[in-house]
Structure 1
Amino acid sequence: MSPSGTFSLTAILPVLPSSLGLLETTLLLLLEHCDHLSEIILFSPETVQRNVRKSLRGIFDPEERLSQVEVSLLPWPPGLREDAASLHMSRQATTDYVLYLDNSGFVGLDSETLDVLMLRHSASTASPVGPRGISSSTSGPVCLPALEAPQPANFLLPPFVMPSSLVPEIELSPDPQYGVWSTLGERISGSRHDKLGGLVVGTNITDSDWCLSKDTLGHRPMSNAGPTDRRLQAHFDHRHPPASHRFSSLVSHTSPPRPASGIIALVLPQLQDLVHFSLTACRLRQAGYTVDTLLYADTGDHVDLVSSECKLDFRILPGLESGLSLDQAILGWLEGLSHAADVIIFSAPDNDLTTQTQATIQARFTTVPIVEIPRTDLLFCDWMGSLTLLEWKNWHKPRIDISVITHKRPRSLDRLLSSLNNARYFGDRPDMRINIEQDADMDTMRAVEAFRWDVGHLFVHHRIVHGGLMPAVVESWYPHSNDSYGLILEDDVEVSPLFYAWTKMSILRYRYGPQENKSPQLFGISLYQQKHLELRPEGRHRFNARDTFTAAGLSDPSTPYLSQIPCSWGAVYFPEHWREFHTYLSLRLSELAWDLEQTVVLAVRSNKWRKSWKKYFIELVYLRGYVMLYPNYEGYASLSTNHLEVGSHVKDVPKDVYMRKKKLFELPLLPLPAHEDVPRVETGLLSLPGGSLPAMHALPTLDLFGMVTAEDMLVERGRERRWELTGCGNDVQSTYDIWEFLCLEDMFDRASV
C-alpha cells in the first residue's frame, strides 16, 4: 500500500571508518529508490569527513537523480553513541518521514524491504516500520524476524522509517542494551491506545547478526568528533569547488522555519561574515526565530553552510542589472521576504554599504529597528543570540554615556582611555565626557589633548575651582531622558573589551524586555565583581558570590545577582535613580532632611566616609531597598578592574602594604577570545544559567553585608528606618520622588529650595 498524497523523506546515515566501504552502495540504493527522498543527512567523525566528501564527489551526478535530493555532511555530535547521535540528527529533518540507518546501511535487505523503507510499500504511515524489531516476553527480549505479515513490536532497530512527528524534541535516556531505540519505542507506545511501538515488515532477511550482537548500538567515533561544548556550537563546512563541480544539489537551503518568535533579516557582505555570526544566528533559530540572510557582496561559488545545530538559509545577491543600485537590490530582497522582517541586522565592509544605502533602507522601513554591526565585531556577537524579540526591537532606545573622572594620574588615565578605545561597541556610538579636576598636572592635560575618540562625541570639562571627588563624580553626568545611562569611571579603573556587551545585554533585559523583568528597585549595573565586602563594622572581609550561593542551596551558583552595594569601580547608573540621588544629596548636604551628622544606616563602615559620594548613595539605597546587578563569572572574571592607585581615597603607604592591598582588588578582565584564523568564537558572556541572563525574579539578592535576603525584606527595612527618621509612615505615591518619600513637602516649598 502506497502512502496517499505526496510525502517527503529524510535519510539519516552515520558513517564510521569501518563503514566507509559501504557508503557508495548505500547511497546508490537510496538514489535508486528516491521517489520520496528529499534529503540525506550524513554524519561522521572529523577524521573521515575528507574521505566521505571524496566518495560524494564520485557518486553524485547533477545530470541524473540528485537534483531533487539535498545532501548534508555534519560532524558527529560529541559524546553520543550511534543511536543517540542518529536521533539527535533527525531533529533537523523537515520532511514528513525519517529513515534511520545504522552504519551498515542496507546490508542483508532485499529490494522489497528496501521499498518498504523508502515508502513505496508501507504497511503503516503512523508508526515506525522496519525489518528488525524487538518484543518482550517472560524470558526477556525477543528478536522478531521479518515476515510477510506485519508484526507488532515494542520497538525497532535501524533500519526503520517513521513519521517525523514522532521525533522527540528532547534527548532520551538510553537503555543499557538497546540504547535510545528502546526508550523511543516506549515513548511511542505510551501515546497509543494499542501500545504499539512499531511494526516489523519485510521479507528474506539474510543477516541475523543484528539479533545476535549485544553491541549493535555501541558505536561512537574514536577520535575527536568536534567541539566538546555541545551548546549551540556550529561546525561549518563551506567549500569552494571548481566551476565544473558535481555538487549541484548540495546547496544551502534551510528548512521551513518552525513557528517563529520573530523574523530576523541578516544583510551581510560575504559567507565568512555569516560564519562569524553563526553562533548568534543558530541560537536565534533555536529560539524560534526565522533568520533570512542576504550576502550582498559575495562572488564565491559556495556549496553549503551547515552546522551541528542548524542550517542557515542564505541568498547571494546576483550581479546588479544595469541601473539597479545596491540599495535598490537590498530593498528588493527585503520586500520580497515571505514575511516582513521584525529586525534588520546588517554589516558593511568599510564603505561598501554607503550612508546613502543605509538612509534608503531606513527611509523604507521606518518602524523596523535596523541594527548595524561593524564587520570586525561579528565574531563577538554570540551574546545577541540570547535577546528576545522585544529586546531586539528596543536596541536603539538606551543611550549609554561614558563619564571619565581624572586628576593627577596621567598613566592611569592613558590605560583607561586605551581600554575604552579597544572595547567593542557593536555599532553603538556612545559619547564620552572627560572631567578634569582644577589642579590637574600638565601630563594629565596633555594626555587628554592627545586622546582621540572616534566612536562618538567627546566633551572635555575642566573645573576652575577645586571640587574634590564627591562633586567630581556626582556632577560628571546627569541624564537627559529616561533612556540615558551613565557609565562612571575613575581613572584608576580599566575595562574589559567586552564591557559594553555586558552592559547592553543587561540593560536590554532588565529595562526594555518583558514587564516581569523590570523592577523600579534596580538602580544600575556593575562591571566589577565583588571580591571583598567593606561595610561590616568589623572591617573588610573576603567574598565569593558562588560560595555564598552554594551555601544558600541555590541550584546554580554561577548566576548574576543583585546587591545593595553601589559600585564605584566601573558601573552604569540608571537615570531615575541618579536624579533622585542628586536631589537626596542636595537635601542631605543642605541639612534640609537631617543634620549632616545624622546616622541614616546603622552599623556600617561607610558612615565614616564623610567625603565620599558612596556614603550618601548607600543611605538612599538602604532607605529605598534599591539593588544593583553584579556579574558572577568564574574566577572573578570581570568587566572592569580597579588598580587601586594613590589618589583621593588611596593614601601613600609603604610599597609592601600597598601591593598587598592592590592585590585584594585587582581582578582579571574578561578578554576577547583568541580569534586569529578562527571562524567563530564564544565570548564567555553567556556562561550563565541556561545560557542567558536569568529572569528578574530568579536573581538572588544580597544586602549591604553580603547576606542573601528577600528583596521585599530590603524594602521593608528601609520603610522602618524611614519611619524612625521622619516619623512619616504614609504610603509613597510617586516613584523616585525623594521629597515625598522623606515627607519634606509638608515642611518646605520645594520650588523655593
Structure 2
Amino acid sequence: MPLLQRPFHGDEELGKKDDDHKQGTKGHMGRAWQQRRLNGPRRSNLKKIALVLLVIIGFYYFFKNMPTDLEQPRQRPSFIPPTGPNAPAPKSVPERYDSVSKMADDDASETPLHNFNGPIKFYQLASTLHAVTTRGSSPINQNVLFAAASLKSAASLLPIACDMGIRARNYVHFALMGRDDISMDILKSVNGVGKDCGITFHDARPDFSISSSDWRMEVSSAAAFKHINDFVNPQATFVDSSGEEEVWFLKGLNQRAATLGRTIIELPDNAGQNLMWITLLDSSSLSAWNKASIDFIVHAQPSASGSLMRLLESLKKADFFSSSYPRLTIELPRDIDEPSKRYLEGFKWPPKSDHSSSLLTLRHRIPQHGINSDESSARFLEGFWPANPSANHILVLSPQVELSPLFYHYLKYTMLEYKYAGNNPAVENLLSLSLDLPSTYLNDTTKFTPPVSNSTVGDNVVNTGVSPFLWQAPNSNAALYFGDKWIELHDFVSQSLESQRTRPTPTTLNEKAVSKTYPSWLEHVLRLARARGYWTLYPNFENEDRLVTLHNDLYQPPEEFAEEVKSDLENENDELGADPSHYLSLKNKDSETTLLKTNLLSMMPNKGELPKPWDMPVLTYDGERVEVDGLHKLGLAYSEIFRREVGGCGLDDMEKVKVEGEVGDLFCLKDQKS
C-alpha cells in the first residue's frame, strides 16, 4: 500500500519531537526564541512592576501631606473643641517643635528654622474657652483681654493685668500666642501672678509653634483672637507697643480686631509707671479708647506772641502716650505780629511728623473793624463742629495757660470714666471737664476756695478731705467740652442772637454774670448751664501742683472787651476810682503754680480712684453748695424765666419736650412766626 502523502511535504522537522527546541537547544530557531525571551518581560512581571509603582506613588503622596514638609496650607486654620459636654481632655499634645528644632537643640549655636506652614490646630485653647463663665456670649460685658507673643511683652503686661484683676471692675483674661514652649504655670510663677490676681489664662499657641513660619504665626494670632472673641467678647484688648513684641503677632491681631470691630489698646514701655490709671477704668470706658477723639482750639490774641509760643511749646512737651495726636486749630487775629509769624512757619503738629500728616489748622480773621461780643461768640463757636457728637469733643485753650506734661493723662482718664463708664446716669448733666482750677469766681471780684468732700457718719458731717467737685460755672482757660453739649450750645447761641435781633433786649440777657476778662462766649455757656442744670468737673489735688498754670504777665483781654478792660485798669490806677476787688484774677500774684510732672495717681486724692458724681461736692455758679436735686430745681426755675424773657414764650404756651442736641423747648420764636 503506498504511503500517504504528507500534508507538509519536505518538512522533516515536523515529524520530530520537540526535545530539540527546549531552552539551550542550539540552532538558528532556538537562538532567536531565546533572544526574544530575554528582551521581553512576561505578563506576570508587568503586574509586579505596576504594583511597585503604585506603592511608590502612595508613599510619595503620604509623605508629601505630612505636616513636616508641607509648603502651603491645605486647609484653613481649625479649632478643635471637645465633642461633647463630658468630653475628655485632648490626648497627648504634639511637641511644639519638629525634627529641625530637635537638631538645633543638640547644637545651641544654631537657630531653629521657621519654615513650617502646616495646618493650624489649637490643642490647649478649647478647654479654657469653654470654661469661661463671665458672660462671654454677651456682646456687652466686663471682659478685657491682655495678649502677648513675646515673653518680654508678657512680663510687661502681666503686672498691669494683675492690678486690674485685683481691682475687680473687669474680668481679666490673658492669652499667650507666641512661639516659646514655656508652660503657663512657669509663666505665672516667673511673673509673680497668683490666684489673687483673678486672671483667666488662655494658651493660644498653635501646634509646632517653634518651627512655624512668620506667616503661619500671623495667621495663628488672627485665628486665635477670633476664637477668643467668639467665647469672651473682650471689650478691649491690651498689647505691648514698646518694640519688644513680635511684628507678625501685632499685624495678625490688629487686622482681625479691625474686622471684628474690637478695640486694641497699645501700651508704651512706661505704662507700668505712668499709665496705671487704666487699671481703674471699667470695660465700657476702655472700649471707647480709640473711638473718642479730641480737637484742640486756641484763640490767639493780638500782640501776644510770647503767650502763644509758651502754650504751644508746652503742648509739644506733653505726653500723649499711645493715643493718637489731636487736631490743633489756632484762631489768629487780623493783625499777626512778626514773632508769631516766624514761629508758626516752623511749628509742626504733631511734633515729630512730616507735612503730609500735619494736624495743624490756622485760621485768620478777615474783618479789619473791631468785633462785638455777639460776633466774637459766633466766630469762636463756628471753629468746631463734631461729626459724631457722642465721640468728637473739643479742648478750649487760652493763650495764657501753660500745660503740665501729664495733662493729657488726666484728660483722657476723666473723660473715659465720666463720659463712657457704664451705669452713669449723671453723664447727662456733664457739660465739660476743666483742667484749670480758678482762683476767683466768674465775676472776678471774689476769691474762690475749692470745697472739701463731706460724708455723713451717724448724725455728724465729717470732712473727708480734698476731692474733685462739680461746679455750674464753666471755664474758658482750659476745658474739654463734649460734642453733644457743643451742638446744643450752637443752637442755643443761634436762637439767642435771633431773639436779640427781633425783640427788645430782655433783663436776663442784660444780666452779665461773667467778667470781661473772659471771652464773651462764656456768658452763653453759663446761661445754658443754668437753664439745663449742667455742671463742669474741676480737678483738686492734695498738693500745690496743677495741670495748668495761668500766666498774667503777658495777659491780653478779649478783643471784644479790650478797650473797656484797658480803660478800667487805667482808672484803677487813680486812687479816686480804685476798686481793690475789680479784676481780682489779674492782681493775683499767686496764680502761677507749679506744674504736675510726676506720677498722676500719686497726686490725686484717694490714690487716683475717681469718685462717683453723686459723691462729689456740687456748687451753683455763684458758689452755693447744693445737692444734685437742688441744682435740678434751680435749673427748672431759671429755664422758666428764660423762656418768657428770651424765648418769647407766653404763659399759655405749652411746655415743649426737650430734644437731645436742641434747645427748641426754651424758645417760642418760631411758633410766633408761623
Q: Does the TM-score normalized on the shorter chain lie above 0.5? A: yes
Q: 1:543 is matched with which residue? A: 449
Residues 235-268 of structure 1 show CA distances to partners (whole Å, capped at 9, x for unaligned) of: xxxxxxxx9xxxxxxxxxxx99997542422337
Aligned-pair CA distance for 1:428 = 2.3
Structure 2 residue 235 is matched with structure 1 residue 345: no
- Residue 352 of structure 1, CA deviation: 6.3
Question: Do the aligned partners of 1:545 and 1:632 also contact (CA within 8 Å) in 2?
Answer: no
- 2:222 aligns with 331
Between stretches 482-491 and 291-300, larger displacement belongs to 291-300
* SS in structure 2 at match of 1:565: coil
1:684 to 566, 577, 602: 602
Equivalent position SS for 1:556: strand
Pairing partner for 1:638 from 536, 543, 546: 546
**TM-score, with length taken from structure 1:** 0.56
Matches within 5 A, 1:412-423: 412-423=307-318
Structure 1 counterpart of 2:625 = 708
Q: 1:733 to 1:263 in 2, by over 3 A?
A: closer
In the TM superposition, what is the alpha-carbon distance from 1:465 to its structure 2 partner? Answer: 2.4
Aligned equivalent of 1:402:
296
Pick which of 347-356 and 387-396 moved more: 347-356
Structure 2 residues not aligned, in runs of 5+: 1-107, 109-127, 135-141, 352-357, 574-579, 645-649
Asked if the contact 2:655/2:665 (under 8 Å) is kept, the reply is no
Partner Cα distance (2:203, 2:312) in 1: 41
SS in 1 for 2:461: coil
The alignment status of 1:667 with 2:553, answered yes or no, reads no
Contact 1:489 1:568 in 2 (8 A): yes
Alignment match, 1:291: 173
Aligned equivalents of 1:702, 1:501: Cα separation in 2? 26
Aligned in 2, Cα 1:286/1:591: closer, same or farther, shift over 3 Å?
closer
1:596-745 aligned within 5 A: 597-600=505-508, 605-606=513-514, 612-644=520-552, 645-649=554-558, 661-673=587-599, 683-684=601-602, 687-689=604-606, 691-725=608-642, 726=644, 727=650, 730-745=655-670
Q: Which residue of 1 aligns with 2:191?
A: 305
1:485 to 372, 393, 403: 393
Q: How much does 1:444 deviate?
A: 1.0
8 Å contact from structure 1 (residues 267, 294) kept in 2? yes
Cα distance between partner residues in 1 of 2:426 and 2:304? 39
Paired with 1:491 and 1:320, the residues of 2 have a C-alpha distance of: 58
Q: 1:461 deviation in Å?
A: 1.7
After the TM superposition, which of the residue ranges 449-458 and 324-333 deviates more from structure 2? 324-333
Q: Does the 8 Å CA contact 1:558/1:632 hold for their aligned counterparts?
A: yes
Among all aligned residue pairs of Structure 1 and Structure 2, give the percentage whose two residues are the same amino acid: 22
The change in CA–CA distance for 1:684 and 1:266 in structure 2 (over 3 A counts) is farther
State the AA in 1 paired with 2:523. K
Where does structure 1 lack aligned partners over 5 or more consecutive residues?
1-242, 244-254, 674-681
SS at 1:566 equivalent? coil
- Cα contact 1:401–1:432 (8 A) shared by 2: yes
Q: Shift in Å at residue 627 of structure 1?
A: 0.7
Q: Contact 2:226/2:256 (CA < 8 Å) preserved in 1?
A: no
Q: Please say if residues 270 and 297 of structure 1, whose CA atoms lie closer than 8 Å, have aligned partners that are also in contact.
A: no
Q: CA 1:489–1:705 in 2, change beyond 3 Å: closer, same or farther?
A: same
* Counterparts of 1:662 and 1:295, CA distance in 2: 58
Query: How big is each residue's C-alpha offset from its partner over 1:609-642, in whole Å with a ceiling of 9 and x where there is no partner?
Result: 7962212221221122111111122135332222
For residue 332 of structure 1, report the CA deviation from its aligned partner: 5.5
Q: Is the 8 A contact 1:402 1:432 kept in 2?
A: yes
Is 1:519 equivalent to 2:427 in the alignment?
A: yes
User: Where is the helix percentage greater, Structure 1 or Structure 2?
Assistant: 2
Contact 2:164 2:280 in 1 (8 A): yes
Q: Deviations over 1:504-526 (max 9, x none)?
A: 22222222222434432211111
Find the aligned partners of 2:524 and 2:163 in 1 and give their Cα distance.
46
Residue number in structure 1 paired with 2:438: 530
Structure 1 position 444 matched with structure 2 position 326: no
Deviation, structure 1 residue 704: 0.8
| TM-fit CA distance, 1:432 | 1.6
Range that drifts further, 324-333 or 268-277:
268-277
2:212 is matched with 321
Give 1:576 deviation, angstroms. 2.2
Aligned to 1:74: none
Structure 1: distance between partners of 2:597 and 2:487? 33
TM-superposed deviation, 1:382: 0.8
Question: CA 1:581–1:395 in structure 2 vs 1: closer, same or farther (change >3 Å)?
Answer: same
Change (3 A) 1:376 1:279: closer
Q: String of CA shifts for 1:566-586, please: whole Å, max 9, x gaps.
A: 011111001222222223223
Q: Please give the root-mean-square deviation of Cα atoms over the aligned residues, in Å.
A: 4.2
Instruction: Give deviations 1:467-502, integer Å, cap 9, x for gaps.
Output: 766456433322222111000112221222222222
| TM-score, length-scaled by structure 2 | 0.62
| C-alpha separation in 2, matches of 1:596 and 1:352 | 67
Asked whether the equivalents of residues 149 and 245 of structure 2 are also in contact (C-alpha less than 8 Å), the reply is: no
Using a 3 Å threshold, how does the CA distance of structure 1 residues 305 and 550 change in structure 2: closer, same or farther? same
> Matched residues in 2 for 1:610 and 1:528: separation?
14
Q: 1:543 to 1:743 in 2, by over 3 A?
A: same
- The aligned residue for residue 265 of structure 1 is 146
Q: Which residue of 1 aligns with 2:647?
A: none
Shift of 1:596: 7.4
Contact 1:424–1:500 under 8 Å retained in 2: yes
Partners of 1:457 and 1:706 in 2: CA distance: 39
Counterpart contact for 1:387–1:509, Cα < 8 Å: yes
| Shift in CA distance, 693/464, structure 1 to aligned 2, threshold 3 Å | same
Aligned with 2:465: secondary structure? coil
Q: Judge conservation of contact 2:393–2:481 (CA < 8 Å) in 1.
A: yes
Give, as a single letter, the amino acid of the residue that structure 2 aligns with 1:433.
T
Q: Could you tell me how far 1:389 is from its partner in structure 2?
A: 1.4
Structure with the greater relative contact order (CA < 8 A, sep ≥ 6): 1 or 2?
2
Question: Which amino acid is the alignment partner of residue 423 of structure 1?
Answer: A
Asked if 2 retains the 8 angstrom alpha-carbon contact of 1:525 and 1:571, the reply is yes
> What is the CA–CA distance in structure 2 between the aligned matches of 1:404 and 1:355, rounded to whole Å?
41
- Amino acid corresponding to residue 684 of structure 1 in structure 2: S
Whether the aligned pair in 2 keeps the contact of 1:348 and 1:374 (CA below 8 Å) is: yes
Would the alpha carbon gap of residues 358 and 426 (structure 1) be closer, same or farther in structure 2, given more than 3 Å must change?
Answer: farther
